């Protein structure tokens, strides 16, 4: 048996569950299990293999409309009003950071952030989600 232990079925050695490292910031911290928590919460969430971001949100009972920016493994995957990551499959060990709509941009990304492929595609396909004219 490999180090995956209970995450593997004994018949085919297939992954049956994944654990995701979830960070909830600002008012979203209350979805981490402690309703009194207001700054941040860190929870390890076990889901079925091939679960998506939408499955994670359902597990947390967190309405997608309450989240602003979202990072998956350091890549920006969603912003308020533009959430193409709902169908994105999560992998064992992924780190997901969910920020409230009123949260400020995280300081460590002050020089920009890599875009997840789904968000990059959605931004190219949709009219500009930004409310300022393009200079050119």
Closest by Cα among 53, 51, 55, 79 to 67: 79
The 10s digit of each residue's pLDDT in 46-97 is: 999 999 999 999 999 999 999 999 999 999 999 888 899 999 999 999 999 9
Res. 34: pLDDT tops 60: yes
**What CA–CA distances, in Å, run from 11 to 43, 50, 61?**
30, 18, 33
The 10s digit of each residue's pLDDT in 92-103 is: 999 999 999 887
The 10s digit of each residue's pLDDT in 92-131 is: 999 999 999 887 776 666 667 777 888 878 877 866 655 5
Quick one: DSSP state of residue 38? Answer: -
Domains in the chain: ranges and CATH: 15-125 (3.10.20.90)
Q: What is the pLDDT of residue 64?
A: 95
16 Cβ neighbours under 8 A, 6+ residues apart: 7, 8, 9, 48, 49
């Amino acid at each position: 048996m490999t180090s995956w232990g209970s995450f593997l079925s004994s018949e085919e050695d297939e992954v049956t569950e994944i654990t995701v490292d979830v960070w909830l910031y600002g008012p979203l911290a209350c979805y981490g299990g402690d309703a009194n928590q207001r700054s941040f919460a860190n929870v390890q969430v076990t889901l079925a293999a091939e679960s998506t971001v939408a499955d994670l949100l359902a597990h947390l009972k967190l309405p997608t409309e309450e989240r602003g920016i979202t990072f998956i493994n350091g890549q920006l995957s969603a912003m308020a009003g533009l959430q193409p990551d709902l169908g994105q499959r999560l992998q064992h060990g992924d780190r997901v950071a969910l920020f409230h709509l009123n949260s400020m941009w995280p300081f460590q990304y002050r020089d920009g952030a890599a875009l997840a492929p789904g968000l990059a595609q959605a931004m190219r396909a949709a009219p500009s989600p930004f409310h300022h004219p393009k200079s050119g």
